[in-house]
Amino acid sequence: MKNIEIGHGSGGSLTRELIENLFLKHLDFEELKSLQDSAYLNINSQKIAMTTDSYVVKPFKFPGGNTGKLSVCGTVNDLTVSGAIPRFLSLGLIVEEGLPIKELEEIVKTIAETAKSAGVSIVTGDTKVVEQGKCDKIYINTAGIGEVKRTFSPKNVKPGDLIIVTGTIGDHGIAISLAREEFDMEIPVESDCAPLNSLLTPLFDIEEVKWMRDPTRGGLATVTIELSEMSGYGITLFENKIPIKEPVNFVCDMLGYDPLYLANEGKAVIAVNKKDAEKVLEKLKKHPLGKESAIIGEVTDRFKGVHLKTKIGGERILDLLEDDPLPRIC
């Protein structure tokens, strides 16, 4: 393949090929090699986590949020699932010539409100304006720094550990799909976009919480496949235990989407020792963002990869998709 395709930004197998065959080939830095949501860094004996992400979602306004809210939530969540308390964010804006100032102000106002609600500060930034037609209204990059309290790693995960998801999956992907108005359907689905630090940081005190990840691009299926590969163990998921809202299921059935691969922006997947799983579930369910948390799977040494036990009693092997059925969802 000689040229970049839209699938290279999907989080699937094409993204992995680009990272392994191009980026890591030249960017030979030890801190980068773990390919986690955040890098762990030591500065004068102080351990911090650092992450960055860019947001090119189309459309930039959608039910449940906009690109500004998404840019704060995504970076806060990447730090949190890495075991860090989010502290500081940078803000980089690439704005298309002709964007109404009123719309830009709405986005910046949302960024400020979301940052305050998450307890983080925007401490530096940059703005560039490009000619009309050179970007799709607005693109945002945020970088975040957090104070490390726990170090989570897929290497900590062992057979018998249980997999928890903190709520319904596929909400963000379907909300974006419907917002694009490509389909004549009026279905009330909102993005789950939310900062998860208030939900997840209380779990840092539970020693047997092994690993966390927010299932954004590629969804639940992709992050569990990656967990299986990095831990060296298999994962069984139980389809009848995975929470999915009925409208999301309906749209997926209508359009042929698989909710397991759709993006989420306000959910986390957690691996925890079986003996502490109910304690974790109880804590999650007490929080407004965790009321629909559920135990959905188990780590095993009987096979490698991710196997889905279907509702009708069959078994399906989940594989990485080459690209995303819904590009530019974050």
* pLDDT tens for each residue of 273-329: 999 999 999 999 999 999 999 999 999 999 999 999 999 999 999 999 877 778 888
What the block records as the tokens of 307 is 């196997």
Last residue of a domain, one of 148, 182, 204: 148
> Percent of the chain beyond pLDDT 70?
100
Tell if the pTM clears 0.85, that is, is over it: yes
Give pLDDT, residue 21. 86
Residue 41 and residue 127 share a domain: yes
Domains identified in the chain, total number: 2
β partners of residue 88: 121, 145
Asked, for residue 77, whether it belongs to a domain, the answer is: yes
Interstrand relation of 306-309 and 234-238 (parallel, antiparallel or unpaired):
parallel
Whether the per-residue pLDDT at 183 is higher than 80: the answer is: no
pLDDT at 133 over 80: yes
Task: Specify the DSSP class assigned to residue 22.
Answer: I
Q: For the chain, how far is it from start to end, CA to CA, in angstroms? A: 25
Mean pLDDT of all residues in 239-257: 95
Structural domain that includes position 104: 36-148
* Residue at 10 is within a domain: no
Task: Tell me the CATH number at 169.
Answer: 3.90.650.10
Q: Which residues contact 321 (CB under 8 A, 6 or more apart)?
A: 10, 12, 13, 218, 222, 261
What pLDDT shows up at residue 3?
87
Domain membership flag for residue 15: no
pLDDT in tens, 59-110: 999 999 999 999 999 999 999 999 999 999 999 999 999 999 999 999 999 9
pLDDT at 229: 96
Q: What is the average pLDDT score of the chain? A: 94
Q: What are phi and psi of 2, to 5 degrees?
A: -100, -20
170 and 95 share one domain: no
According to DSSP, the residues that pair with 270 across neighbouring strands are 164, 212
For every residue of 154-187, DSSP letters joined together read GGG--TT-EEEE-S-SSHHHHHHHHHTT-S----
At 220, list the tokens.
């639940």
**pLDDT of 235 higher than 90:** yes
DSSP class per residue in 44-107: TTEEEEEEEEEE--SSSEETTEEHHHHHHHHHHHHHHTTTEEEEEEEEEEEEETT--HHHHHHH
Is the per-residue pLDDT at 174 higher than 80?
Answer: yes
Arithmetic mean of pLDDT, 233-252: 97
List the structure tokens of 231.
């831990």
Q: Which two tokens stand for residue 158?
A: 């062992």
183 vs 100, residue with greater confidence? 100
When pLDDT is cut at 50, 70 and 90, the band that residue 35 belongs to is confident
Structure tokens at 174: 């379907």
Q: What angle do CA 273, 303, 154 make, to 5 degrees?
A: 40
- Shared-domain flag, residues 86 and 55: yes
User: Which pLDDT belongs to residue 4?
Assistant: 85
pLDDT band at 10 (very low <50, low <70, confident <90, very high): low
pLDDT in tens, 206-234: 999 999 999 999 999 999 999 999 999 99
- As a whole number, mean pLDDT of residues 35-41 equals 82
